[in-house]
Structure 1
């Protein structure tokens, strides 16, 4: 089974080859040597990748998961926010998923509806 890191790298290459600009979002906190915490500044649940589709300048967000990964509660909340604004986004378990999300303009692909 591929790791999320491997899948993420494959997605970045494929989207870049298909007329998209892609950014990796580093989210989290780290303890500095002096004991203080540094937080990236992005909100909790922010997807792993985001970018712009060149054909129409639409923004997209991709949460990367391996074959068995499940979104955390904060990621589901971010999904609900993006869905409420009809923003292209979804969970990609492969580069094919990511390309489908972006090229087809899917909103919420891969998230289970309740």
Structure 2
């Protein structure tokens, strides 16, 4: 399954528990050849938001069954965790729910 599809499943599954945003991170080339960067830190998580029950911030990196996190993604999650955010890597909606509930 593509990570984009997993992200969409997670966004729907988390809607009872959290307000979820999808980050489009990286660079792209415009039709006239210009390179544009999104401005988010390197390694910023795919999904982020706040838990509805208490407003606690979360960051979830989404990977398919074969995907691996980069050193930038690992560092970003580590820094967010140091600042008391909920963090995790999810390969399914079920894993994302467990992360939000802080059961992992």
Both structures adopt the same fold (TM-score exceeding 0.5): yes
Q: RMSD in angstroms over aligned alpha carbons?
A: 1.4
> 1:55 is paired with a residue of what secondary structure?
coil
Unaligned stretches of 5+ residues in structure 2: none
Give the distance between the partners of 2:59 and 2:88, measured in 1 at CA: 7
> 1:6 is paired with a residue of what secondary structure?
helix
Residue 57 of structure 1 deviates from its aligned partner by: 0.7
Q: Give the equivalent residue in structure 2 for 1:3.
A: 2
Residue 54 of structure 1 deviates from its aligned partner by: 0.9
Q: Give the equivalent residue in structure 1 for 2:14.
A: 15
- Which of 70, 86, 95 matches 2:84? 86
Q: Give the equivalent residue in structure 1 for 2:43.
A: 45
| TM-score between the two structures when normalised by the length of structure 2 | 0.91
Unaligned stretches of 5+ residues in structure 1: 110-114
CA 1:12–1:77: 2 relative to 1, 3 Å: same
- Contact 2:17–2:100 (CA under 8 A) maintained in structure 1: no
> Matches of residues 1-114 of structure 1 in structure 2 within 5 Å?
2-16=1-15, 18-104=16-102
Query: How many equivalent pairs are there?
Result: 104
**1:14-68 CA deviation, whole Å, 9 max, x = no partner?**
001x231110000011122343321111111000000111110111111000112
Give the distance between the partners of 1:34 and 1:67, measured in 2 at CA: 36
